[in-house]
Amino acid sequence: MRDVTAELFQKIQKDDPNQTEFQQAVHEFLNSVDKIIDDLPHVVYHKVLDRLIEPERAIMFRVPWTTDEGILQINRGFRVQMNSALGPYKGGLRFHPSVNLSIVKFLAFEQTFKNSLTGLQMGGGKGGSNFDPKGKSDSEVMRFCQSFITELSRHIGADTDVPAGDIGVGGREIGYLFGQYKRLRNEFTGTLTGKSPLWGGSYIRPEATGYGLVYLAAAMLHDKGESFEGKTCLVSGSGNVAQYTVEKLNSLGAKVVTLSDSTGCIYDPSGIDDKKLRYVKTLKNVTRGRISAYAEAFKEAEYFPRKENGGANQVWTFAADCAFPCATQNEISATDARNLVKSNIKLVAEGANMPTTLEGVDIFHDNGVLFAPAKAANAGGVAVSGLEMAQNSSRIQWTAEKVDQQLQRIMKGIYANIRDTAKHYGSEGNLVDGANIAGFLKVANAMIDQGYV
């Protein structure tokens, strides 16, 4: 790294030594920006860089709630309002026991550039809680959501900050959050996205991240004269993003052979077809069971419990053409990346946020794997959230076909932008550089126009 970027990185290491996920996201970003910073007007862009890594605002609050047995509970809530240069803060809420300030900051940082790449008017933010929805009743989740939004409602609004879902926050939670927000404010506005299309949501929002991921990956393959027809694919996770990734891959003639959750993974060499996918959707979205049940329902599949104490992630050990990490951050280590390269993987597209470690990304690049970084590849979800905001502002609802067409247009546009930006700045084929540089320049130029705030 050059002096300016190295100094910035040392600063965040010194200021927040425990924020390892945030440091990782910033490190990857600075590595890309480093390649162009000397060619930009010096003081101007340096001064923007040091503002970009500091959230405009970070809110932390307590969330008191009670169990069905009446036992008093407490959790921590967060909202990091990272950057509003391009529009109201926009980004999801994550409910998972691992959530802390480092994770919310890394997600809000990534979100800022992702939202910029969509071409829509959205700033970057992220929030959540260390609340664990697993094993909680519907009424416990409802009381938690009502308490969470009671505090957060002071800080958000349709023109201020518009939250949505992420890990542990889907349609059920958005409904509970929206209902309480409406009572508190006495207004029906588009302050949350991911709402049901019955009452203000956009068609295709649930599908958007997975579909968008496959649209972008298809555009990459198309550039090489290839398609998904007949390709074997690995997908990790089994939640929202994973489910709709499988659905779109199936429709394009690919065969998906894996899914996973935090307890282990399944391998189904005959492929997770649409009938089996319906089973997964019920298992995960309705009965909220474990993926191990898949191997009991379908005898051709095998279940592999997750190994304790690290080691290789089993999902990435099966032979395939393409891989789609759709669970969580750092689920592809250097060892996992080497395993994928050994089995001749052609393409890796990130559905989750930052699922590949920095070493893993280098291994893919060094071995000629087509690699689509999260901030571009999974932007379809927030893009349709942006379209939901537009529909809410104009108080109309578009058809599913219209939203899907817009999503395809946006994902193809993102791919062309990051491919061409990488080439323009001497990093041809490196879409990590393409996404970081394109995202950075748009946000930075807006900040300069607005007086470096």
* Residues in contact with ligand NDP by the rule CB under 6 A: 96, 98, 165-168, 170, 209, 237-242, 261-263, 326-328, 351-353, 378, 381
What does DSSP assign to residue 169?
Answer: B
Q: With contact defined as beta carbons under 8 Å apart, do 194 and 217 qualify? A: no
Interatomic CA distance for residues 8 and 99, integer angstroms: 25
Compare residues 314 and 330 and give the one whose CB is closer to ligand 2IT. 330
Residue least distant from ligand NDP (Cβ): 239
Residue 105 annotated among the catalytic residues of the structure: no
Given 124, 168, 201, 381, the residue binding ligand 2IT (CB under 6 A)? 381
Residues 253 and 78: their CA atoms lie apart, in Å, by 41
Tokens coding 443: 């946000």
> Which of ligand NDP, ligand 2IT, none does residue 20 bind (CB under 5 to 8 Å by kind)?
none
* H helices present in 16-41, as ranges: 20-33
Residue among 126, 195, 276, 284 flagged as catalytic: 126
Name the binder of 91 from ligand NDP, ligand 2IT, none, CB < 5-8 A by kind: ligand 2IT
Q: Collapsing DSSP states into helix, strand and coil, what is residue 267?
A: strand
Q: How far is the CB of 236 from ligand NDP (least distance, A)?
A: 8
Which of positions 76-105 make contact with ligand 2IT (CB under 6 A)? 90-92
Stretch that binds ligand 2IT, among 32-40, 141-149, 175-183, 380-388 (CB under 6 A): 380-388
Comparing CB distances to ligand 2IT, the nearer of 208 and 363 is: 208
Taking residue 209's Cβ as centre, other Cβ atoms within 10 Å add up to 30
Which residue number, 107 or 218, has a Cβ lying nearer to ligand 2IT? 107
- Give the separation between CA 444 and CA 299, rounded to whole angstroms: 54
Say which residues have a Cβ less than 8 Å from residue 7's Cβ, sequence separation at least 6: none
Contacting ligand 2IT (CB under 6 A), which of 28, 166, 268, 404?
Answer: 166
With binding defined as CB under 6 A, does residue 242 bind ligand 2IT? no
Per DSSP, the three-state class of 82 is strand
Residue 112 binds ligand 2IT, judged by CB under 6 A: no
Could you give the strand order of the β-sheet that contains 72-83, starting from the edge strand earlier in sequence?
Answer: 57-66, 72-83, 124-129, 89-95, 161-164
Q: CA–CA separation, 105 vs 439, rounded Å?
A: 17
Residues annotated as catalytic (active site), given as ranges: 126
Residues near ligand 2IT, by CB under 6 A: 90-92, 111, 114, 164, 166, 193, 353, 381-382, 385
